[in-house]
């Protein structure tokens, strides 16, 4: 098995579009969650969301924009950053040895929403000519491949909220097995449409607005948590065969040390202690690490009543006596839930924590829940000099639980 390293990272997020700057905001406990403007739609019960600062029209010519849903725009922008960060000279590489692996829950949700509005609301018989191409789930991955001429496997994973963790884990395996040398892996999601927000509202999963401070509406692990807040963005990593990276003198952010994938079949939405614990245990086993080696967990921590208590119990089951000593945070308290892009964004955050030896807090955790009694770094960012390995949890509707572990390279 070959070692897999991360040599490039890029992201578009509710906290900005540069990994280092986003991480600084997380350390400061700064939230990107806010109330959407009234023009967005007054018919939403809660207009709280975490939008990305991203204007496609400023970045791409009109002729290209007509072919790109917002989700693909995010993916291309984050990929461009990641490739630049990796300083990978694509012209010197074998295009067949570079693949793409992207997770997305909803694909081109804006285009689907627009087409439905035209057909059903406006009673038009005509939708945008490229609606199919705009909305298809594999568009983000495909456009990355086309833009950069990457002819290795081009894959899209859609396992709801674990999509991009799965995309990264599966990509790392392809490299580990010697199938390809480089994979562009991550996720993209652009779910902030009226239709999508309404659908989540119907599921009773969205947080109520914190009227005193809308930015604090998502309160993972707190007793007064009321649900998740949807966010948008993309997070892309360049994964590389360690030997390939060494030969070209690449700078290494981290090693992708472990990946655990476990399916629970108890319920379509209800999280499962067993499924989550199994995914963490498998990730540890694949990394050859003990729980006590993990110096930080970036939790799935959605802020729903169900997830946070179950995740706490699952961590205790796997970590045993080490659970109480492991700092855990849910950065969703600040960037919201990016659904199919969440796993990749949070893996990047975990890697940045590893690199900088400081872990971001769980924001807005003031009122403790007796069912969530671990160390959630509620008081603020914490310096941890001995950090050598970090874990990122991603659990999903449908039961596909995925856990990634990064280790100092």
Partner 1 sequence: MSPGPTTLEFLRQIIARDFQVDPQLLQPDARLEDFAIDSLGLIEIMFAVEEQFSITVPSEPPDARTPLNTLNDLVRYIDRLVSEQRGATPADEAVP
- Residues of the shown chain interacting with partner 1 in the complex, contacts defined by CB under 8 A: 61-63, 66-67, 126, 128-130, 133
Q: For residues 267 and 196, what is the distance between their CA atoms, to the nearest angstrom?
A: 22
Q: For residues 336 and 89, what is the distance between their CA atoms, to the nearest angstrom?
A: 34
CB of 184 to partner 1, least distance (A): 24
Q: For residues 157 and 163, what is the distance between their CA atoms, to the nearest angstrom?
A: 6
Distances (CA, A) of 170 to 242, 261, 373: 16, 10, 33
Q: Which residues, listed in sequence order, are joined to residue 239 by a DSSP beta bridge? A: 6, 183
CB of 83 to partner 1, least distance (A): 24
CB of 147 to partner 1, least distance (A): 15
Which of 93/128 has CB closer to partner 1? 128
CB of 148 to partner 1, least distance (A): 19
**Paired tokens of 201:** 């509202």
Exposure on the CB side of residue 343, measured as CA atoms within 13 A:
36
Which of 40/130 has CB closer to partner 1? 130
Q: For residues 161 and 139, what is the distance between their CA atoms, to the nearest angstrom?
A: 18
Q: Which residues, listed in sequence order, are joined to residue 101 by a DSSP beta bridge? A: 155, 185
Which of 1/62 has CB closer to partner 1? 62
State how far Cα 129 lies from the chain centre.
31
Which of 87/124 has CB closer to partner 1? 124
CB of 95 to partner 1, least distance (A): 21
Burial of 125 (0-12, 13-18, 19+ CB in 10 A): exposed
Q: Are strands 296-298 and 389-394 parallel, antiparallel or unpaired?
A: parallel
- What kind and span of H or E run contains 24? helix 19-27
Q: Which has the closest alpha carbon to 228: 299, 316, 323?
A: 299
Q: Are strands 4-12 and 254-263 parallel, antiparallel or unpaired?
A: antiparallel
Which of 125/212 has CB closer to partner 1? 125
List, in order, residues 6 or more apart from 351 with CB less than 8 Å away: 6, 9, 253, 254, 390, 406
CB of 82 to partner 1, least distance (A): 27
Count CB neighbours of 252 within 10 A: 15
Which of 66/270 has CB closer to partner 1? 66
CB of 129 to partner 1, least distance (A): 4
Q: Which residues are catalytic?
A: 161, 300, 337
């Amino acid at each position: 098995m070959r070692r897999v390293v991360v040599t490039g990272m890029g992201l578009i997020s509710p906290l900005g579009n540069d990994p280092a700057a986003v991480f600084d905001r997380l350390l400061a406990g700064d939230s990107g969650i806010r109330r959407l403007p009234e023009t967005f739609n007054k018919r939403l019960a809660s207009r709280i969301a975490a939008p990305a600062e991203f204007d496609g029209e400023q970045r791409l010519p009109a002729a290209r924009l007509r072919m790109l849903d917002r989700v693909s725009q995010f993916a291309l922008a984050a990929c461009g950053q990641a490739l630049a960060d990796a300083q990978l000279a694509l012209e010197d590489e074998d295009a067949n040895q570079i693949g793409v692996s992207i997770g997305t829950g909803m694909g081109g949700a804006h285009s689907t929403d627009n087409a439905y509005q035209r057909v059903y609301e406006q009673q038009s018989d005509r939708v945008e000519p490229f609606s199919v191409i705009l909305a298809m789930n594999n568009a983000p991955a495909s456009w990355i491949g086309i833009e950069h001429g990457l002819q290795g496997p081009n894959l899209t994973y859609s396992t709801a909220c674990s999509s991009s963790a799965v995309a990264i884990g599966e990509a790392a395996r392809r490299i580990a097995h010697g199938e390809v040398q480089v994979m562009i892996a991550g996720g993209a999601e652009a779910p902030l449409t009226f239709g999508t927000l309404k659908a989540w509202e119907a599921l009773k999963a969205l947080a109520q607005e914190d009227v005193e401070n809308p930015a604090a509406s998502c309160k993972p692990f707190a007793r007064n948590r009321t649900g998740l807040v949807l966010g948008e963005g993309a997070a892309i990593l360049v994964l590389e065969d360690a030997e390939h990276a060494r030969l070209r003198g690449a700078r290494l952010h981290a090693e992708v040390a472990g990946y655990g994938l476990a399916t629970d079949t108890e319920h379509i939405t209800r999280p499962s202690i067993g499924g989550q614990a199994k995914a963490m245990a498998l990730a540890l086993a694949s990394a050859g690490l003990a729980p006590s080696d993990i110096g930080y967990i970036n939790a799935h921590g959605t802020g729903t009543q169900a997830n946070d208590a179950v995740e706490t119990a699952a961590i205790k089951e796997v970590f045993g006596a080490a659970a109480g000593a492991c700092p855990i945070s849910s950065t969703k308290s600040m960037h919201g839930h990016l659904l199919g892009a969440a796993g990749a964004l949070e893996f990047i955050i975990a890697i940045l924590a590893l690199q900088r030896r400081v872990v971001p807090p769980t924001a807005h955790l003031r009122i403790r829940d007796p069912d969530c009694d671990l160390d959630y770094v509620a008081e603020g960012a914490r310096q941890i000099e001995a950090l050598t390995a970090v874990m990122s949890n991603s659990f999903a509707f449908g039961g596909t639980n995925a856990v990634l572990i990064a280790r100092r390279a």
